[in-house]
Amino acid sequence: MTQMLTLSLRQLTGKWRVILIVLLALIPVGLAFVPGGDRADADEEFINGLLDGLLVGVIMPLVTMALATAAFGNEIEDKTLSYVFLKPVARWRIAIPKFLASVIIAAPLALVSGGLATYIGTDGDLRTTVAVAMALSVGVITYASVFTWAGLITTRALPFAIVYVFLWEGLLSTFIGGIRYLSVRGYTLAIMNGLDDNGLEVLSDRVIEFPAAVVGAFAVTIVFLWLTVYRLRRMDVP
C-alpha cells in the first residue's frame, strides 16, 4: 500500500495541476481581505457569500475533483491500469491509496484556505475557524470517495463531477430541502453549524441536523469506497 500511495501522490502532483489547485485555494483568502460594511451585515455576507457560496459550494469540490477524478482516470486513459492489476494484491489495497492520495493533497489545502479566510473574515474568531476547517476536511474526504469512484467508472469523470456539483449540490440542494440529506455540501455546512452554532447562526435555518450530517458523510464515504473496490474487482482492464 505504501508503494501505491507514493506512486499515486507522484501522479497527482504534476506541476500544472498543483499550480491550479493552489491558485483556487488562495481565492477565498484574498477575498476575505475585502472590507464589508456594518459588522452584522459583513458577517452574514461573509458566511453566505464567501463561506457557503464560494468555499463550500465551489472551491472545495473543484480542488477535490481535480485530484480524485484523476486518481484512476489518468491510468485508464493511458491504459496503464493493467500494470497495476498485475500485482497479486487485494483490490482494496489499490483503491484505498488512490483515495488517500487525493485526500492528503486536497484536505490541507482546503483546511488552510478555509481556516485563513475564516480567521480573517471573522476578525480572529478561533472557534469558528476550527469549525470551518474541520467541516471542510470532512467534506474533502466525502467528495474524494465519490470522485475516486467516478474516475474509475467513466473516462468523462471530470465533466460528470462538475455537473454533479453545480446541479445536485448547488442548485437542487439549495431549493429542495430534502436533498440536503444526500448532499456533501449539506453535510459540510451542517457540521460547521453544529460545531459553532453561535458564530455560524446564519446557517441554522438551512442545514440538517448535526448527527444526521456526521452519519451521512461517514455513510457516503464508506459506500463509495466499497463501490470503488467492487468496480475494481469486476472490471475488465485491457
pLDDT of residue 39: 46
Range name among 52-56, 94-98, 159-163, 234-238 with the lowest pLDDT average: 234-238
- pTM of the complete model: 0.90
Residues 183, 146 contacting (CB under 8 angstroms): no
Q: Is 151 helix (H, G, I), strand (E, B) or coil?
A: helix
Give the relative orientation of helices 184-195 and 126-153 as an angle to the nearest 10 degrees: 160
The residue whose grid cell reads 470551518 is: 132
Please write the tens of the pLDDT for every residue from 205-238: 888 999 999 999 999 999 999 999 998 888 765 5
Q: Is the pLDDT of residue 88 over 50?
A: yes
Please write the tens of the pLDDT for every residue from 170-202: 777 777 767 788 889 999 999 999 999 888 888
Confidence of residue 139 (pLDDT cuts 50, 70, 90): very high
Residues 91, 172 contacting (CB under 8 angstroms): no
Q: Could you give the CA distance from residue 202 to residue 159 in angstroms, rounded to a whole number?
A: 32
pLDDT of residue 130: 93
Q: Is the pLDDT of residue 37 over 80?
A: no
Burial 72-98 (b: 16+ CB within 10 A, else e): bbbbbeeeebeebeeeeeebbebbbbb
Q: Is the pLDDT of residue 22 over 50?
A: yes
